[in-house]
Structure 1
Amino acid sequence: MPIWLHVTLIVFIVYFIISILLYYLQDYFLFKPEKLPADFQFLYENQVVEEYHLTTRDGAVLNGLHFKVEKPIGVVLYLKGNSKSIKGWGKFAIDFTRLNYDVIMVDYRGFGKSTGKRSQKAIKRDLQFVYDEIKKRVAEKHIILYGRSLGSGFAAKLASMNTPKMLILDAPYYSLTKVTGRYMPFMPLSVILKYPMPTYKWLKYVTCPIHIIHGTKDKLIPFKTSVKLSQIKPKITRLYPVIGGGHKNMNTFESYHEILNNIIRSKPIEIDLNTTSIGVVHASKK
């Protein structure tokens, strides 16, 4: 056998083995769950919180938290990132309860106290189940979907299938195929990735207002990703840069909280475009 053919065969075998390993091990790379014992008690200072358990049609148990305010004007369904459990994410509920919104958080399958075999299809189905439970108690016009990092894709999917008050995406990705492709450009990710999470496709079907918040120094998911996403439905989308914000520290920026406050508390104002310069034609030299 010629040396070049021998080398080519070895490279192909190694490539094939790596592809197989990535297919079966990708859950370990994409998800960083924190397990919690069944008797773990959630405690948050100055927050009223109720724990809940929902059983899905395939027998999985979804564990979640309901942060309550005295007279809520609506509810935020907060979809978290890919790490830890709602034990740690619960501290962010105050950013919405201070604005007089209840907050619902849920752990994905395999996170915290939640059980069940994880897959993109199963998680989408679970979150729709949670959303439907919320709709039994709250009109959709009072429901805000908030997706953070990994949760942004799931939030976009939910918004595409429902009619919430608004969709807020925090550090969203174009698709997980694109994100992972930055680190493994030569792998057949479109074939082996079990969680492609095509946020860009789902946004095409969203009809509610879309608000995108992204740090300009995010090294994991570049800010330009949100610029690209904002162009999918430009008439109903607003993009808010957090100058200097990274992927995990946006809550430490005052501007982030000002943005969140303005998004949730502001009321849309109809503008008569006939009174603006939109139709003005610049004079040109003849």
Structure 2
Amino acid sequence: MPVWLHITLIVLITYIVISVLLYYLQDYFLFKPEKLPKDFQFLYENQVVEEYNIETRDGAIINGLHFKVENPKGVVLYLKGNSKSIKGWGKFAVDFTRHNYDVIMVDYRGFGKSTGKRSQKAIKRDLQFIYNTIKEEVSEKYIILYGRSLGSGFATKLASMNNPKLLILDAPYYSLTKVTKRYMPFMPLSLIIRYPMPTYKWLKYVKCPIRIVHGTDDKLISFKTSIKLSQIKPKQTRLYPIIGGGHKNLNTFEEYHKVLSEIITGREKPIDLTTTSIGVKHSKK
């Protein structure tokens, strides 16, 4: 066998093996869940919160938190990023309860106390079920969808299939295929990725106002992504750049809280930063 053919076969076999490994191991790379014991108690200062568990049609349990206020103006369904659990993400509920909105957060399958086999289809189905449950109690004109990082794609999908009051995207991606391609440009990602999450496709069918918040120094998901997304439905979209903001620290910027207040209330007004999550730091682990 010629040397060049031998080398070609080795490269081809290696390429195929890596592709197969990426297909089966991508959950490990995409999701960084924190598991919580069933008896874990959620505690948050100065917050009224109720824990709930919802069983899905395939027997999975979706665990969530409902942060409550008196006489709420509406409810925010907060879809978090790909790490940890709602134990830590719950600290950010204050950014909405301070505006007199209830907040509902859920852990995706395999996160926190939630169970079940994870897939893009299963998570979308779970979140639609949660949304339908909220609709039974609250009119859609009072529902705000907030998607952070990984959650931005799921929030967009929900908005495309329903009629919420508002869609807020925090550090959104164009698609997970595009994000992954930055790190593995030579892999056949369109064939092997099981979580393509095409936010840009779903955004085309969103009918409500769209607000995008993104740090200009985000190293994980480029700010350019939000520029491209904002151009899909420009008449109903507004992009808010947080100058100098990264991927995990927007809440430490005063401008972020000013922007969020403007988005939620529809007007600019002074804010008391002591009532926000500005001091909360994401874990480095």
TM over 0.5: yes
Partners of 2:101 and 2:244 in 1: CA distance: 28
| AA in 2 matched with 1:177 | T
Residue in structure 2 matched with residue 88 of structure 1 by the alignment: 88
Residue in structure 2 matched with residue 170 of structure 1 by the alignment: 170
Residue in structure 2 matched with residue 247 of structure 1 by the alignment: 247
Structure index of larger Rg: 1
**CA-CA distance at 1:196 after TM superposition:** 0.2
| AA in 1 matched with 2:65 | L
| AA in 2 matched with 1:6 | H
SS of equivalent residue, structure 2 residue 157 = helix
SS of equivalent residue, structure 1 residue 235 = helix
Q: How many aligned residue pairs are there?
A: 267
Alignment of structure 1 residues 69-148 onto 2, 5 Å = 69-148=69-148
**CA-CA distance at 1:71 after TM superposition:** 1.1
Cα-to-partner distance string for 1:102-157 (whole Å, 9 max, x where unaligned): 00000000000000000000000000000000000000000000000000000000
Partners of 1:71 and 1:135 in 2: CA distance: 17
**Are residue 35 (structure 1) and residue 2 (structure 2) matched?**
no
Residue in structure 1 matched with residue 221 of structure 2 by the alignment: 221
| AA in 2 matched with 1:28 | Y
Runs of 4+ with >6 A deviation = none
TM-score (norm 1): 0.93
**CA-CA distance at 1:214 after TM superposition:** 0.1
Partners of 2:217 and 2:181 in 1: CA distance: 20
SS of equivalent residue, structure 1 residue 232 = coil
Structure 1, unpaired ranges of 5+:
268-286
Cα-to-partner distance string for 1:138-191 (whole Å, 9 max, x where unaligned): 000000000000000000000000000000000000000000000000000000
Partners of 1:191 and 1:95 in 2: CA distance: 39
Residue in structure 2 matched with residue 279 of structure 1 by the alignment: none
Structure 2, unpaired ranges of 5+:
268-285
Partners of 1:266 and 1:260 in 2: CA distance: 10
**CA-CA distance at 1:202 after TM superposition:** 0.1
| AA in 2 matched with 1:262 | E
Cα-to-partner distance string for 1:21-62 (whole Å, 9 max, x where unaligned): 000000000000000000000000000000000000111000
Residue in structure 1 matched with residue 235 of structure 2 by the alignment: 235
